[in-house]
Amino acid sequence: MDRLHIRGGRPLIGEIAISGAKNAALPLMAASLLASAPLILENVPDLADIRTMTALLRELGMEVTREASGRLVLAGPPRQALAPYDIVRRMRASVLVLGPLLARLGEARVSLPGGCAIGTRPVDLHLKGLAELGAEIHLEGGYIIARSPKGLRGADIALPFPSVGATENILMAAVLAQGRTVIANAAREPEIGDLARCLNLMGAQIEGIGTDRLVIDGVSRLEGAIHRVIPDRIETGTYLCAAALTGGDLFLRGAEPGHLTALLKSLREAGVTIETVPGGLRVRREGRLVGVDVMTEPYPGFPTDMQAQFMTLMSVAEGAAMITETVFENRFMHVPELNRMGARINVHGASAIVRGVPELQGAPVMATDLRASVSLVLAGLAARGETIVNRVYHLDRGYERLEEKLAACGAAIERWREAA
């Protein structure tokens, strides 16, 4: 398995181009199942998760072609409704084909994604919402079997929790349902706005984009479209932390500050200088870092996908920081690894108390999920000595050309390839 070798202590200076958002691209790719003509997505990052979704869509009979410069052409129609375990187990977001398949083909058989490293993550809200649209759903042999022999009908759906995936699945089914659907307490993440805007471009009628109440008037068919994926706010946030940790100065080209309000506020409170400049964001840190408390929440709150990276930053800040995770249970697996690098972090239930130390020391570390892995890369960039990050495949799921982007700004980071 590949691993990363990092020699820490060098400030990151230069420019990093922000890639298209993985979590926007995945549902947009699933939405191609709904279109009667090719959907063309621009600015799609080249990542393992995108390749997994490509494999799944091909399995369903779609033609997916990647062109130079990150353009993805997705052409249907889907020819079969089975999303097999073998692909779904590789990536939970595979479940996003459920709503579109049901709406387009009247049936879907999708493997249950199962547990994962950051909690149990059930799909009950997805299934309940689709059932309210008239789908008949049961579980059989580890598969979700969904049918809508009489077609889907609009309904008033109130989500008990604003789940991102459930909102996306219900939205993609409702666009082709008969009549009006209202999703109350919908998730408001920018990736959902991106999906809704693309669906409208394809001919859907969705109102309330960006709010927690989506109103969808069903249409009988959707056309193709050309749509550009929004910049990745979590990749942006990760490089903001990297610049701050190393006392660097970075220009993040293409970053969208409007999607990062909560994170920017916390970073500025911690002593990081961030300016909106033409074409992106400039970040630098000259003075000391100070501890700031944060609590993860659904958007527009502090993103759970930035919790681990922010914790690395707080591990070298002056004073203490309390970091509370409210979105996922069990999302502190990076804590023991950071502590092995000299951090002083204690977990009490859903909160971690981080007592800042003057510096971290390099060590061999191992990560269990995407954002935890990158928090250890950040720690390695700031630490004295060498850090070896094992299980790099997690990073390849979500960070495009990570070591290339960091090395171009002065990081001493290298991938050691090993046969599996």
Strands (E), 113-194: 136-140, 143-147, 156-158, 180-184
Q: Is 116 a catalytic residue?
A: yes
Task: Say if residues 406 and 12 touch (Cβ distance below 8 Å).
Answer: yes
Shortest distance, position 122 Cβ to ligand UD1, whole Å:
4
Q: Which is nearer to ligand UD1, 60 or 95 (CB)?
A: 95
Shortest distance, position 25 Cβ to ligand UD1, whole Å:
9
Please report whether residue 87 would count as binding ligand UD1 according to CB under 6 A: no
Please report whether residue 54 would count as binding ligand UD1 according to CB under 6 A: no
CA distance 10 to 361: 14
Shortest distance, position 357 Cβ to ligand UD1, whole Å:
28
Shortest distance, position 164 Cβ to ligand UD1, whole Å:
4
Q: Which is nearer to ligand UD1, 31 or 250 (CB)?
A: 31
C-alpha closest to that of 30 among 120, 91, 86: 91
Among the listed residues 116, 198, 241, 409, the single catalytic one is 116
Residue 349 burial by Cβ neighbours in a 10 Å radius (0-12, 13-18, 19+)? exposed
Please report whether residue 416 would count as binding ligand UD1 according to CB under 6 A: no
CA distance 365 to 310: 18
DSSP assigned state of 329: S
C-alpha closest to that of 244 among 256, 236, 255, 253: 236
Please report whether residue 306 would count as binding ligand UD1 according to CB under 6 A: no
Write out the binding residues for ligand UD1, residues 91-110 only, by CB under 6 A.
93
Write out the binding residues for ligand UD1, residues 140-199 only, by CB under 6 A.
161, 163-166, 187, 191
> Which residue in 115, 119, 258, 336 binds ligand UD1 (CB under 6 A)?
119
Q: Which residues neighbour 280 within 8 Å (Cβ) at sequence distance 6 or greater?
A: 18, 251, 252, 253, 254, 255
Q: Which is nearer to ligand UD1, 122 or 336 (CB)?
A: 122
Shortest distance, position 328 Cβ to ligand UD1, whole Å:
5
**Cα 37 → chain centroid:** 27
Q: Which is nearer to ligand UD1, 8 or 398 (CB)?
A: 398
Please report whether residue 336 would count as binding ligand UD1 according to CB under 6 A: no
Shortest distance, position 209 Cβ to ligand UD1, whole Å:
17
Q: Which is nearer to ligand UD1, 165 or 271 (CB)?
A: 165
CA distance 352 to 388: 24
Task: Examine residue 113 and say whether the peptide bond preceding it is cis (omega within 30 degrees of 0).
Answer: no
Shortest distance, position 212 Cβ to ligand UD1, whole Å:
13
Question: What number of H helices and E strands is found in the chain?
Answer: 14, 24
Task: Examine residue 77 and say whether the peptide bond preceding it is cis (omega within 30 degrees of 0).
Answer: yes
C-alpha closest to that of 118 among 292, 338, 334: 334
Report the 10 Å Cβ neighbour count for 245.
27
Please report whether residue 126 would count as binding ligand UD1 according to CB under 6 A: yes
Q: Which is nearer to ligand UD1, 187 or 316 (CB)?
A: 187
Write out the binding residues for ligand UD1, residues 13-32 only, by CB under 6 A.
23, 26
Please report whether residue 327 would count as binding ligand UD1 according to CB under 6 A: yes
Task: Say if residues 224 and 62 touch (Cβ distance below 8 Å).
Answer: no
C-alpha closest to that of 313 among 283, 284, 343, 340: 343
Please report whether residue 124 would count as binding ligand UD1 according to CB under 6 A: yes
CA distance 376 to 364: 10
Q: Which is nearer to ligand UD1, 287 or 349 (CB)?
A: 349
Q: Which is nearer to ligand UD1, 8 or 27 (CB)?
A: 27
Shortest distance, position 93 Cβ to ligand UD1, whole Å:
4
Using CB atoms, what's the residue nearest to ligand UD1? 165
> Which residue in 1, 65, 122, 226 binds ligand UD1 (CB under 6 A)?
122
Binding interface with ligand UD1 (CB under 6 A): 23, 26, 93, 119, 121-126, 161, 163-166, 187, 191, 304-305, 327-328
Q: Which residues are catalytic?
A: 116
